[in-house]
Amino acid sequence: MTRKVKVADEETDHRRGIDHIGVTVCFVVHDGQGNLLLQKRGPKARDEQGRWDIGGGAVEMGELLEDAVRREVLEELGTDPLEIEFITAGDAHREHNGNNTHWVYLLHSVRIDPSTVINKEPHKISEIGWFNADTIPTPMHSQFHKIFDVVKTRGIIK
């Protein structure tokens, strides 16, 4: 997302994660039975198209973190979380289209009712599916390795 900011009487583009550190809530969606819902990034996703990923999105100015998680789950999957739990925070440093990017991610565990899930963003999410530790699809998002061991250790995925 690009935002215009007025600085010393001139407008300057500010791109999250490139011109300043982006802050994102991300979430491991699960059914409470050891299965994760993963999303395959579609052609209109910001980056890493065709790779499987967890959900997430930027935190908006003035928004509470839990509200951002609820909003993003509803926007992406058309359902309300039954439980939200903060897990950890970390840095994601990557390169995208020749730009070094830096995002701070705030990882959450989100339990949902699997029967209520729909893909509400087919332009950004080309496919969704349920997986356990033995059936994780490939290719995975470049940052997935940072969360996989955490969710296994916590028993979220089996």
Question: Where do the domains of the chain lie, and which CATH numbers do they carry?
Answer: 21-153 (3.90.79.10)
Confidence of residue 94 (pLDDT cuts 50, 70, 90): confident
Q: Terminal CA-to-CA distance of the chain, rounded, Å?
A: 36
Among the listed ranges 10-14, 23-27, 106-110, which one has the minimum average pLDDT value? Answer: 10-14
Exposure string for 105-118, b = 16+ CB within 10 A, e = fewer: bbbbbbbbeeeebe
> Is 12 in contact with 5 (CB distance < 8 Å)?
yes
| Residue among 20, 32, 76 nearest 53 (CA) | 76
Q: Region 54-64: what's the mean pLDDT?
A: 94
Q: What would the two tokens of residue 44 be?
A: 């209109």
Question: Rg of the Cα trace of the chain?
Answer: 16
Secondary structure of residue 82 in the 3-state scheme: coil
pLDDT digits over 98-149, tens only?
889 899 999 999 999 999 999 999 999 999 999 999 999 999 999 999 899 9
Confidence of residue 9 (pLDDT cuts 50, 70, 90): very low
CA 52 – CA 50 distance, rounded (Å)? 7
Global confidence as pTM: 0.85
